[in-house]
């Protein structure tokens, strides 16, 4: 299988596309499409997180679970939606915490490409989903690939911050060398759990403090008013 990743990632992940699990995943996705099932995001966006954030520029890793499963939402970056799409509830809560933590001024869009271009790897652990069926592509092989991506960041990126929100993301802590990288954990920002410790976690300012300690440029968390 031809590696669809940009050059900066190919050295560390290119061989994954010849692995048996990836061939099985490709066959599964082809069968889903042949059955006329709608899959999000579009295949051109499956690896968008890697395209926008080269491994040598990673500063922060935010892990999601599945892409959004509604029309026009998912575009390959966790928690982010296309311009013109209503801001999802979890992202609304992320904006609320940013406002309290770093003085973020809320915007009326949910496009996070500004973060990705600064070095935030916005990675879902499964890179596809069937329309209207959350977790429908879980266990099909994507998690093997994205675990390898996390491991590549852990081993080859400069000291970075991993923001692990919710039990699924927190289960990936074992892949990270906490003597080199900063891991910050909290409940998920969804309306069901944000009040259990996501609000008030101050992780965005703590991430920037760590980056400065490492001699790295801190994140500009403020999003432009127009995506």
CATH number of the domain at 110, please: 3.40.470.10
On whether residue 29 sits in a domain, the answer given is: yes
Residue 185 backbone dihedrals phi, psi, to 5 degrees: -115, 150
On whether residue 195 sits in a domain, the answer given is: yes
64-81 in b/e form (b: 16+ CB < 10 A) is bbbbbbeeebbbbbbbbb
Q: What is the pLDDT of residue 3?
A: 81
On whether residue 220 sits in a domain, the answer given is: no
On whether residue 35 sits in a domain, the answer given is: yes
Q: Output Rg (C-alpha) for the chain, integer angstroms.
A: 17
The number of domains in the chain is: 1
On whether residue 71 sits in a domain, the answer given is: yes
Q: What is the pLDDT of residue 100?
A: 98
On whether residue 130 sits in a domain, the answer given is: yes
On whether residue 159 sits in a domain, the answer given is: yes
Q: What is the pLDDT of residue 153?
A: 98
Distances (CA, A) of 76 to 123, 127, 187, 193, 206: 8, 7, 23, 24, 26
**For every one of its 227 residues, what pLDDT tens digit does the chain have, with 9 covering 90 and above?**
568 899 999 999 999 999 999 999 999 999 999 999 999 999 999 999 999 999 999 999 999 999 999 999 999 999 999 999 999 999 999 999 999 999 999 999 999 999 999 999 999 999 999 999 999 999 999 999 999 999 999 999 999 999 999 999 999 999 999 999 999 999 999 999 999 999 999 999 999 999 999 999 999 999 999 88
Which of 18, 45, 56, 66 does the annotation list as catalytic?
66
Is 66 one of the annotated active-site residues of the chain? yes
Q: What is the pLDDT of residue 8?
A: 93
User: Which uninterrupted H or E stretch holds 165?
Assistant: strand 161-165
Range of the domain at 47: 7-214
Identify whether 41 is preceded by a cis peptide bond (ω within 30 of 0).
Answer: yes
Judge contact between 219 and 211, C-beta under 8 A: yes
Q: What is the pLDDT of residue 1?
A: 58
On whether residue 77 sits in a domain, the answer given is: yes
């Amino acid at each position: 299988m031809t590696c669809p990743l940009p050059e900066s990632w190919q050295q560390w992940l290119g061989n994954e596309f010849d692995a048996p699990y990836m061939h099985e995943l490709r066959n599964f996705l082809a069968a889903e499409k042949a059955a006329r099932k709608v899959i999000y995001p579009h295949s051109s966006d499956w690896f968008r997180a890697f395209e926008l954030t080269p491994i040598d520029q990673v500063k922060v890793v935010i892990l999601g679970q599945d892409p959004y499963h509604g029309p026009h939402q998912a575009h390959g970056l966790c928690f982010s939606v296309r311009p013109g799409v209503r801001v999802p509830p979890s992202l609304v809560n992320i904006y609320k915490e940013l406002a309290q933590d770093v003085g973020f001024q809320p915007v009326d869009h949910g496009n996070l490409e500004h973060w990705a271009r600064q070095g935030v790897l916005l990675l879902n652990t499964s890179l596809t989903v069937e329309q209207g069926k959350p977790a429908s592509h879980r266990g099909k092989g994507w998690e093997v690939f994205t675990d390898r991506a996390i491991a590549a960041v852990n081993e080859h990126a400069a000291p970075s911050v991993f923001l692990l929100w919710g039990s699924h993301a927190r289960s990936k802590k074992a892949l990270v060398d906490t003597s080199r990288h900063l891991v910050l954990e909290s409940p998920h920002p969804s309306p069901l759990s944000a009040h259990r410790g996501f609000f008030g976690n101050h992780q965005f300012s703590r991430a920037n403090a760590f980056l400065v300690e490492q001699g790295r440029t801190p994140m500009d968390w403020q999003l432009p008013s127009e995506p």
